[in-house]
Amino acid sequence: MDNLFYFRAVNPAEQYILKQAEPYRSILLHVQVIIETTLPDLQMLYKFRIPFYYVDGKQAFCYLNVSKGFVDVAFWHGTHLTLHQDKLVSKGRKHMKSLRYFTPEEVDETVLVEVLEEAYSYKDRKYYK
């Protein structure tokens, strides 16, 4: 028994984060910690080839994606969001809005937490208005 090592297997969503090049890996890890500290009941799953957070393992909440030089933290119920409109991006999407980060320094924890909490308050609403 002394020679046994105990470890936790890394799930595919965590693998996605860990395999990213810098600065994206650092951004994703920082955002992951903020999300999981702010809303510990969310579950991170690997869906559509990206990390996706779900409420109760079945209701989509937000996803993390590296795309075209930035990290996108996209909110499933983005159409309902009212806080920090100047920081939310909806380009080319009807219902989702996202916070985009190009560098780790751009992650404003206060803004992210406030948007997370607002989005969570809409978790029981329909996808669109």
Count the Cβ atoms, other than its own, within 10 Å of residue 100: 18
Starting from the edge strand earliest in sequence, which strands make up the sheet with 70-75, in order? 42-47, 50-55, 59-67, 70-75, 97-101
* Per-domain residue ranges of the chain: 12-121
Return the pLDDT at 7.
Answer: 58
Q: Using CA of residue 67, residue 72, residue 128, residue 43, what is the dihedral sign? A: positive
Give the CA count within 13 Å in the CB-facing half-sphere of 117. Answer: 10
Return the pLDDT at 37.
Answer: 98
Return the pLDDT at 54.
Answer: 96
The answer to whether the beta carbons of residues 84 and 116 sit under 8 Å apart is no
Any idea what DSSP says for residue 9? P
We find that the CATH architecture of domain 12-121 is Alpha-Beta Complex (3.90)
Residues of the chain with pLDDT under 50: 1
